[in-house]
Amino acid sequence: MNETAQTTRTTELATFGAGCFWGVEAEFRALPGVIEATSGYLGGTLANPTYEQVCSNRTGHAEVVQVRYDPALISYERLLDTFWRMHDPTQLNRQGPDVGSQYRSAIFYHTPEQRAIAESSKAAEQASDRYRRPIVTEITPASTFYPAEEYHQRYFEKHGISCKVH
């Protein structure tokens, strides 16, 4: 009898909003220890929203990336460090040319431990000399995550756009 050793990988979820999800997804996907990064919508009131509905700025959803990661290979703190450096957390409801609450800076925590780590990380970022304005990043419990339409997934990869990890 031939037995195959199976390894069970323990993974965790982290969810971030940092503007348009295309670049956010690509940056997280490039990190060693990230198993999957999925563009989607979270934090709103409408079930199964479409991109057009989210862009109407009436559903309350944020464009987010849900990251499945292996905590033995990458820490939640490292994900947060990447999050802070990939966008401007002092801009309220916008990132660059994208304007609206769907582009808000947000950390959606999945556990009380993530909440505590995120709050501590935000406080440390604010205390640093990196920002001239207050950080407006919201830290809220994760609710139902809705994956974005297929054409949004791996957008940079599909269109030959490279991404530099900070």
Catalytic: 20?
yes
Domain ranges of the chain: 12-158
Considering only the top CATH level, what class is 12-158?
A: alpha beta
pLDDT in tens, 88-145: 999 999 988 889 999 999 999 999 999 999 999 999 999 998 999 999 999 999 999 9
Of the candidates 82, 79, 99, the one whose C-alpha atom is nearest the C-alpha of residue 91 is 99
Task: Assess contact for 34 and 12: CB atoms under 8 A.
Answer: no
**This prediction's pTM:** 0.88
Strands 105-109 and 138-141: parallel
- The active-site residue, picked from 14, 18, 20, 24, is 20
How far is 137 from 95, CA to CA, in rounded Å?
Answer: 12
